[in-house]
Structure 1
């Protein structure tokens, strides 16, 4: 059920949001779940929050070190999702505090599978909220360990197959670090977050997993590759031809340099399209 209330919003520090609820994560679903909201006065519409792993996740890709990656599942556990209207627009790279004119929140924790669907699939719906008409140009969320379901105890669960030169390695990489992102306006070919009264609009949390693995379709000296871990360090952890590691194993078994690279990449996963985010929390083991 939707709950709609009028509120006056002051200074909102999205990096320290309190939990909106205590529901357990739901199974991955292609339908948005109604959630509790808060809004400013005025006419309203429906804001749909979506999560997008892009074609890299849905279709597969080649890593910077030549491994062909196909994901079966890529679960992310999202909590404290908050969309805001800001004026002036929030710049996540400025270090300034976000000033919200209006805000809506998605209740509870949602677990979604970014690998769901094919290249024609819409980004996965995470939740929908009744919201005041206007331009939503800021989005924040936390990534927390799931409380139940297939990715229980992990904020990110990557499962699939990597293939190179005839070698095939099934892999499962489970991340339990907690992250929090505060993002500005969506940047992409289509405008998002512009909500007209009585209508619906999308806002998107985008995840760039090519930052972790690199992109074999671009030159080796491209920035996406020079800062990426690739798959080779993970392939080296295979036992009996299978990679099955969590954050504890990564810390123990990766080289110090590779583990440092892994940790440094996590804060760069969250985007809004190509728009940047401020990573406001990284809780390690």
Structure 2
């Protein structure tokens, strides 16, 4: 199994302080509601500039998640450091398609689903798989990117409209959410949430980061995609990308796609 994150530095797993631990220790029959959310971050909702100078705006980013399982793991699961040992697990039973671009920059991460009557405790691991959508605008594909891109320094700055339909379907097992606050601490009669996070700068890079940063040296960028435009439009699927991209660019894409999955800035392990 491969481990992916935003750096080579492993993510440490915090222990609960006494107040958090006390609140998480409840009677055996205590239960609450656990929300599962998905987040494409500001890159999706606000747009960003790729490593090669393309201003990318997303209209839709459809992802279809399946086999979503939240776990109370002990010891706390850390990707790449052993098997997940679950004391408690709950799951969403059906695949769900969401649009990560839905809402503005102030919107909450998209609700995938909620599980009621969940045993209280600390849910410190999350796993999910991408799977082809069975209906709707993403039908047949696990991941569909729809938007436009404009070369920032181009004389005419003519936008390219794109629709990229990806058939790759990686599956992830992730540890604790890493962000401003921990997630998944569920107490009796309350609601907690967990988040599946997608880092699309891993595909396109980020002009705000140094060119030598790993986020850029390992990224495809948008220029290879732009070169496939016909009459100002890129409309491709994975098979067409394999045929049309250079061998090295296609290999780069295949290398970065499994690194999309995170929990905030927390790392995930790719399930073979």
- Output the TM-score relative to the length of structure 2: 0.87
| CA distance in structure 1 between the aligned counterparts of 2:248 and 2:271, rounded to whole angstroms | 23
Secondary structure of the corresponding residue to residue 263 of structure 1: helix
Equivalent position to 1:210, from 180, 201, 208: 201
Deviation at 1:167, TM superposition (A): 2.2
Aligned residue for 2:92?
Answer: 106
Q: Give deviations 1:89-108, integer Å, cap 9, x for gaps.
A: 011121x2211000000120
Secondary structure of the corresponding residue to residue 177 of structure 1: coil
Aligned residue for 1:116?
Answer: 102
Aligned residue for 1:195?
Answer: 186
Secondary structure of the corresponding residue to residue 95 of structure 2: strand
1:49 aligns with 2:36: yes
Structure-to-structure mapping, 1:211-226, within 5 angstroms: 211-226=202-217
1:173 aligns with 2:159: no
| CA distance in structure 2 between the aligned counterparts of 1:126 and 1:160, rounded to whole angstroms | 22
Aligned residue for 2:49?
Answer: 62
1:128 aligns with 2:114: yes
Secondary structure of the corresponding residue to residue 252 of structure 2: helix
Provide the aligned length of Structure 1 versus Structure 2.
243
Deviation at 1:84, TM superposition (A): 0.3
Deviation at 1:273, TM superposition (A): 0.3
Aligned residue for 2:220?
Answer: 229
Equivalent position to 2:142, from 143, 155, 161: 155
| CA distance in structure 2 between the aligned counterparts of 1:212 and 1:42, rounded to whole angstroms | 44
Deviation at 1:87, TM superposition (A): 1.0
Structure 1 unmatched ranges of 5 or more: 1-14, 16-39
CA RMSD of aligned residues (A): 1.5
Deviation at 1:41, TM superposition (A): 4.4
| CA distance in structure 1 between the aligned counterparts of 2:250 and 2:157, rounded to whole angstroms | 27
RCO higher in 1 or 2 (8 Å CA, sep ≥ 6)? 2
| CA distance in structure 2 between the aligned counterparts of 1:271 and 1:93, rounded to whole angstroms | 14
Secondary structure of the corresponding residue to residue 262 of structure 1: helix
| CA distance in structure 1 between the aligned counterparts of 2:83 and 2:72, rounded to whole angstroms | 14
| CA distance in structure 2 between the aligned counterparts of 1:240 and 1:41, rounded to whole angstroms | 63
| CA distance in structure 2 between the aligned counterparts of 1:107 and 1:150, rounded to whole angstroms | 22
Secondary structure of the corresponding residue to residue 83 of structure 2: coil
| Aligned structure 1 segments of 4 or more residues deviating by more than 6 angstroms | none
Deviation at 1:191, TM superposition (A): 1.4
Structure 2 unmatched ranges of 5 or more: 3-26
| CA distance in structure 2 between the aligned counterparts of 1:75 and 1:113, rounded to whole angstroms | 4
Secondary structure of the corresponding residue to residue 90 of structure 1: coil
1:242 aligns with 2:229: no
Aligned residue for 1:145?
Answer: 132
| CA distance in structure 2 between the aligned counterparts of 1:230 and 1:59, rounded to whole angstroms | 18
| CA distance in structure 2 between the aligned counterparts of 1:236 and 1:246, rounded to whole angstroms | 15
Secondary structure of the corresponding residue to residue 258 of structure 2: helix
Secondary structure of the corresponding residue to residue 259 of structure 1: helix
Equivalent position to 1:72, from 43, 59, 63: 59
Secondary structure of the corresponding residue to residue 146 of structure 2: strand
